Structure 1
Amino acid sequence: MGKEIIIDGHSLTMEDIFLVANAKTTDVKVSLSPIAKESILKSREYVHKIVEKGEPVYGINTGFGALATKHIAKKDLSQLQVNLIRSHCTGVGKPFSREVTRAIMLLRANCLTSGYSGVSIEAIELLIDFLNHDITPVVPEKGSVGASGDLAPLSHIALALIGEGEVVVDGKAQKSDFAIHQIGKKPVILGPKDGLALINGTAVMAALGALAIYKSERLVKLADIAAACTLEGVRGTASAYDYKIHSLKPHPGQLASAINLNKLLEESGILHSHPDCGKVQDPYSLRCVPQVHGACRQTLAHSKEVLGIELNAVTDNPLIFVNEDEVISGGNFHGEAIAMAMDYLAIGLAELCNISERRVEKMMNPTFSDLPAFLTPNSGLNSGLMIAHVTAAALTSENKYLCHPASVDSVPTSTDKEDHVSMGVTAGRKLHEVLDNLTKCLSIEFLCNTQAIDLLRPLKSSPAIEALIAHVRKTVPMIEDDRIFYKDMNNIEALINNNELLSVVEKVIGELN
C-alpha cells in the first residue's frame, strides 16, 4: 500500500487531491481521522435531538429552497432526503473524467468530516470506500449554477451512494448497488439532513480549481523553459533578463520568471556566439517574457490562495454548532470566490498561450530568425512546421472566447430565492479547456525550438536546455523531411503531462521558481 491520506476537514492539500484523483487503488488510501469521527458522531446526535423535538429546522425537517416553509413529518424524513437526491439528478452532457470525479468525492468527504454538517458517518465512509475501491460515479458535467452548492453533479454522486446511480469500475459502467455489494458494503440509507449535506457545497468547482492549479504550477515553469529555448533557437539576446532591470519593477512573478530564465541560459554556447550580430532589442514576445509570464504567475498565486482556503472550508447549509447549541442557515455554498479566481487564472494561462504562439511565429519567419523557412532544411518540397504554427494560432484564438468570465453572469432560480449565482462550474470547465490548449501550444513551441536549436549545430545551448533536447529526441527525431507532425506534438505533450520535461531540466539546474 502506498501513501495514506487521513482527512480531518482541516489539512487537505492540492497535492493530496492530485494524488487521490490520479491514484490506482494500491497507490493511495484515504481514511478518516479518529478525531473527525468523534465530531461527525456528535453532530449527528445533535440532528437526531432536533428531530425528536419536532421544531422546524431548515434542511432537517422542512422542504428545501423555496419550499423551506413546508414542515415535514418525522415519519417522512428519510423519504424527504431520497426525494431530494432523485429530483436533483438533472445533470446533462458528457461525464466528468475519473480524475475530476475522484477529486470531487475527496473534497466532499473532507468537508463533511469537520463536524458541522450533521451527516451520518456511514455516508462519509461509503464515499471513502468508493475512492479506495476505485468506484467512480457517472457525473454529468453540466447542470450547476454554482450556488446552493453544486447540486446537480453532487446529486449524481449521492444517487450512487444510495444504490440507484451508475458507476464505472475497471472501465465498465454498472449499477451502483451491484458495485457496492461487490466490496462487501451496503447502500447508504439516508436519514435527516443526509441528502442535503451530500449535495450542498462547492466540491465540484473546488475540485476543478484545485486540479487546474496543481497542473498550472508546472506549466508556468515550462513556459519559462520554452521561452528560453526559443530565444536560443532564434539567437536572441538575454540582456532584457538582467536582474537589475527587474529589481526596479519587483512584481514577485516577474522576478521569479527572470531568475528562471537566467538559470536556464547559464553556460549557453549559443548565447555567447553572436555578440556582434547587431540585434539590440528582440520583439516583445522574447524581450518581455519576465513581465508577461510574471503577470500570468500572479493570477496563479491569487487563485492558489483562494482555493487553498476553500479546500478545507465548510460549505454546506445549514451548519450545526453543537457546542453553541445552534443551527444557523447561511451561504457558504456560494462559489463566487472560486469562480472569479478560476476566471482570472484562465486569463493568465491564455496569455501564456498567446505569447507562446508569437514566439512560434518568430521561428517560422526566416527574415527574423535567419533559419530555414518553417524550420525545414528543404523548404518548398517540404512545408515543415507551417501548419503546426497554424494549430497554435487556432488554440490561441479559441482561448479568447473561453476567457469571457463565467462569474459575471447570474441566472436567478428557485422562484428567485436563489437570485444570485456564481457559475463556478462553468468557470472551472472553461479553465480546463484553456489549460489543455496551453499544454498543446507549449508542445508545439518545444517541437519548433528544439528543431531550431538543432539547425544551429554544432553550436550548443546551456546544459539544462541540451538535456531537454536530448530527452525530446528519444521520441521526436530531428526533422529532415515532412512527416506526420501531430504524432510528434502528442509525444511532447505526453512528456509535459507526465512531468518528464520539467524533471529533466530541474535535475541539471535545481528547482525552478
Structure 2
Amino acid sequence: MSPKQVIVGRRIDLEEVHRVARLRAKAVLNEHAEAALSHTRGLLEASLADGSTIYGVNTGFGALSETRIPPEKLAQLQRNLLRSHAVGVGPAFAEDVVRALMMLRAHTLALGASGVRPLLPQRLLALLDAGIVPLVPRQGSVGASGDLAPLAHLALAVIGEGEVWLHGDRMPADRALARVGLEPIELAPKEGLSLINGTQVTTAVTALAIHDARELLMAADIIGAISLDAMLGSVRICDPRIHAGKPHPGQRRSAELIAELIADSPLNRSHANCGRVQDAYSLRCMPQVHGAARAALQYVADAVEIELNSFTDNPLVLLREPSDDPEDPGFDVLSGGNFHAGTVALPADHASAALTTLATISERRLDRFCAPESSRGLPAFLSNDPGLESGFMMAQVTAAALASECKTLSTPACVDTIPTSAGKEDHVSMGPIAARKLGAVVANLARVLAIEAAVAARAVDLREHPSSERLMAVHAAIRRHLGPFEGDRSLSAELEALAGAIVRGELREAAGLAAEGSQPS
C-alpha cells in the first residue's frame, strides 16, 4: 500500500519528510494555501506599483542591494539570479535529499510570507510528482543568506534550465519538462529570490539524518542489551532506583528498555550467583551514555521540526494587526535573517557528537568479545580455531576505523564563519557542512552497530543458554542478513545489508518496540 499523502503549507514533521523523500508519498498543497498566497502576492505587487524599493524585488542582491533595477528588467533580474548563483560543485545530492528539498521549498513558500504566486509551490510539487529530480551539487553553500547555490540548481529546473534526473535518465531540464507535459515558468518579481533564499538544504539533510538516527538510538539499546547478556553482564545496572537518583528522561528510558529486553533470559539467570560485582563502563554505563544521546537527539529533532515549519525567505510579506486607519496598507515587507541556518547547524553538530558517543561505546563493547581476557570464556576473536582462523579480528578494526572517523566528523562546523558578498554577509552558519557531516556519522554508526550485532549474535551462539525470547527474535532478524559463523569469510556485503536493516527498523520491530519518535523522550 502506498504511504498516505502529505499536505504542505500546514505543519509537517520529520516522518512526513521521510515519507515523501524515500517512500514516494504524494505531496499536495494545503487547500487554503492558494487563496493566502494570492493575497500576499497582491499586496507585494501593490507595493511595487506604489514605487516602493524592496530588496531583491527591484534591487540587486547582497552587496548590490543598493542598486535599483528598472521595472522592465525585473524578470531578467530573477533569471540572472538563478543562473549566477548556480555555482555548486562536487558530487550531487542523493535522490531522497533532493525530493525532501523540493517538498520543503514548496512548503515554506506555501506558508504564505514569501509573496510568490501559488504557481511556484504548485510547480515544485508537480515536478516532484512527475519524478523529476534536479541535479543539485552538494558543495557551495555557507548556510546564509540561505543555501543559495544548491537551491539555485534546484530552481533552474523550474525555468527549464540545468540538468535533472527523470526515471533514471540524466537530461536537460527543458527536455524532462516536455516529457511530463510541463512548461518552464517565467518568473515574476521576487520569485527567483524566494526559490533560493532559505535553509532547506541544511534542513532536508539534517531531517533525514535525524529520522535514521532515531532508529540507530533504539538499535544501540537493543544490540547493547544482547551484548550485555552475551557478556554475562549484570542487568542490575538498570535497577530503577539507580536512575531515580539521576532522573534524566533519556537515561531512564534506556535503562527501562535494556531491562525489558533481557527480562526472563535463561542466559542471564545462568550466572545469577557468579559473584562478580560490576562490569566495564561500556556495559555498565549504557543507560547513561545512550540516555545522553537520546536527550540530544530529542533537542535536535525539536529544533529541526521548528525549522521545517518556519518562514526562511527574505524579505517577508507580513500582515499587521487590523487597524482603523484607512491609509494603513495592512502589511509590511520586512528584511530579516530567517535564512540563517545557525538554528539547524548548531543542533546538527550536537547530533554528530551525540551519535559519535554511541559509535565509540559500541566499538568498545564489541572489542571485549574479541579478547579472551575480557570475553568471559569465549575463544579469541570468536573463531572456531584461533590462529588458523582470524574470526572477527578485522571486523573490530573496521569498527575502530569508523568510530575514529566519527570523532573527526564531530568537530563542529557551526563555529566557523567566513564573510561573503563583499562583507555584507559577514557571519554565516556553515549549516550544509554540519548537516553533511551528520549524515556521514549516521552512516558510520549504522555500520558500527551492525558489527556489534554480528559479534554479539556470534557470542550468543557460543553460550550454553539462549537469551530472552525477545532478544532471540532480534538474533533471528540479524541472521536474516548475516549468516552464522562457520569459518572465515568476507563479511562486507552481509554487514552492509545488516546496517541497512538496522536503519529500516528491522531489529526494533523484531524486539516488539515502537519507533523512537512515538515514544516519550
**How high is the TM-score relative to the length of structure 1?**
0.97
Question: In the aligned structure 2, how far is the partner of 1:82 from the partner of 1:418?
Answer: 22
1:314 paired residue number:
311
Match of 2:70 in 1: 73
Q: Residues 15-26 of structure 1: matches in 2 within 5 Å?
A: 15-24=15-24
- 2:468 corresponds to 1:471: no
Answer with 411-420 or 487-496: which moved more: 487-496
Match of 2:225 in 1: 228
- Superposed displacement of residue 49, structure 1: 1.6
1:509 deviates by: 13
Matches for 1:391-402 after TM superposition, within 5 Å: 391-402=398-409
Separation in 1 of the partners of 2:477 and 2:409? Answer: 33
Of residues 342, 366, 378 in structure 2, which corresponds to 1:371? 378
1:395 alignment partner, SS class:
helix
Distance in 2 (alpha carbons) for counterparts of 1:72 and 1:508: 56
Offset at residue 4 of structure 1 (A)? 1.7
SS in 1 for 2:266: coil
SS at match of 1:103: helix
Aligned pair partner of 2:53 in 44, 56, 80: 56
Match of 1:176 in 2: 173
Q: Does 1:488 align with 2:494?
A: yes
Q: 1:2 to 1:287 in 2, by over 3 A?
A: closer
Choose the corresponding residue for 1:190, options 187, 192, 202.
187
Which range is displaced more, 275-284 or 418-427?
275-284
Alignment equivalent of 1:455, drawn from 459, 462, 475:
462
Q: CA deviation at 1:270?
A: 0.5
Structure 1 residue 512 displacement after superposition: 7.0
**1:133-187 superposed Cα distances (whole Å, 9 cap, x missing partner):** 1110000000000111000000001111100111111111111111112221111
8 Å contact from structure 2 (residues 237, 284) kept in 1: yes
Cα offset, 1:344, TM superposition? 0.3
1:339 aligns with 2:345: yes
2:14 alignment counterpart? 14
Could you tell me how far apart the structure 2 residues matched to 1:241 and 1:487 are? 35
- Cα pair distance change 1:366/1:349, threshold 3 Å: same
Aligned to 2:326: none
Where structure 2 has 5 or more consecutive residues not aligned to the other structure, the ranges are 321-329
Contact 1:374 1:383 in 2 (8 A): yes
Distance between the aligned counterparts of 2:44 and 2:238, measured in 1? 61
CA distance in 2, matches of 1:475, 1:196: 48
Q: 2: distance between equivalents of 1:343 and 1:182?
A: 41
What displacement does 1:319 show? Answer: 0.4
- Residue 474 of structure 2 aligns with an amino acid whose one-letter code is L
One-letter amino acid matched to 1:139: V
Letter in 2 for 1:477: G
1:286–1:359: 8 Å Cα contact kept in structure 2? yes
What is the alpha-carbon distance in structure 1 between the residues aligned to residue 138 and residue 515 of structure 2?
A: 41
1:82-161 matches, within 5 Å, as 82-161=79-158
Q: Secondary structure at the match of 1:239?
A: helix
Pair 1:508–1:35, CA change in 2 (3 A): closer
CA distance in 1, matches of 2:143, 2:47: 29
* Alpha-carbon separation, structure 2, partners of 1:212 and 1:300: 11
Q: Displacement of 1:475 after TM fit?
A: 3.4
For structure 1, the residue ranges without an aligned partner over 5 or more in a row are: none
- Offset at 1:378? 1.2
Of all paired residues, the percent bearing the same amino acid is 44
Describe the shift of the 1:507–1:221 C-alpha distance in structure 2 as closer, same or farther (beyond 3 A).
closer
Matched, 1:501 2:511: no
Distance in 1, matches of 2:187 and 2:515, equals 55
Maintained 8 Å contact 1:224/1:257: yes
In the other structure, the counterpart of 1:289 is 286
Q: Conserved in 2, the CA contact under 8 Å of 1:303 and 1:345? A: yes
Partner of 2:332: 326
Is residue 446–residue 500 contact of structure 2 (8 Å, CA) maintained in 1?
no
- TM-score, length-scaled by structure 2: 0.95
Q: Distance in 1 between matches of 2:33 and 2:61?
A: 27
User: Does the 8 Å CA contact 1:54/1:74 hold for their aligned counterparts?
Assistant: no
Q: What is the CA distance between 1:115 and its match in structure 2?
A: 1.2
Q: Distance in 2 between matches of 1:183 and 1:338?
A: 35
Aligned to 2:203: 206
Tell me how large the CA RMSD over aligned residues is. 1.5
CA deviation string 1:86-134 (max 9, x = no partner): 0000100100000111111111110001111011222211100111111
* 2:3/2:23 contact within 8 Å kept: no
Aligned-residue offset at 1:506: 1.3
Whole-angstrom CA distance in 2 between matches of 1:15 and 1:2: 11
Q: Which amino acid is the alignment partner of residue 377 of structure 1?
A: N
- For the structure 1 residues 183 and 500, does the alpha-carbon distance in structure 2 shift closer, same or farther, using more than 3 Å as the test? same
* Secondary structure of the corresponding residue to residue 145 of structure 2: coil
Change (3 A) 1:278 1:138: same
Deviation at 1:508, TM superposition (A): 11
Amino acid at match of 2:212: K
Quote the Cα distance in structure 2 between the aligned partners of 1:152 and 1:230: 46
Structure 1 residue runs of 4 or more that deviate by more than 4 Å after TM superposition = 507-513
Query: In structure 1, what is the Cα distance between the partners aligned to 2:299 and 2:167?
Result: 38
Q: How big is the shift at 1:56?
A: 1.4
Q: Helix, strand or coil for the counterpart of 1:366?
A: coil
Change (3 A) 1:450 1:304: same
Structure 1 475/336 Cα, relative in aligned 2: closer, same or farther at 3 Å?
A: closer
Helix, strand or coil at the partner of 1:506:
coil
Whether the aligned pair in 2 keeps the contact of 1:101 and 1:136 (CA below 8 Å) is yes
Aligned equivalents of 1:134 and 1:341: distance in 2?
A: 31
Task: Confirm or deny: 8 A CA contact 2:216 2:503 kept in the other structure.
Answer: no
| 3-state SS of 1:108 partner | helix
SS of 2:7's partner is strand
Number of residue pairs the alignment of both structures matches = 508
CA distances 1:245-276 after superposition (whole Å, capped 9, x unpaired): 01100011100100001111011000010123
Task: Verify the 8 A CA contact 1:162 1:187 in the aligned structure 2.
Answer: yes
Deviation at 1:507, TM superposition (A): 6.2
Partner of 2:388: 381
Cα shift at 1:212:
1.3
Cα separation, partners in 2 of 1:157 and 1:461, compared to 1, 3 Å: same
Give 1:485 shift.
Answer: 1.4
Contact kept in structure 1, 2:215 and 2:503, CA below 8 Å: no
Is contact 2:3-2:19 (8 Å) kept? no
Distance 1:160 1:340, change over 3 A: same
For 1:422 and 1:359, locate their aligned partners in 2 and report how far apart those are by CA, in whole Å: 36
Instruction: Output the CA distance in 2 between the equivalents of 1:447 and 1:461.
Output: 15
State whether residues 46 and 322 of structure 1, in contact with CA within 8 Å, keep that contact through their aligned partners in structure 2.
no
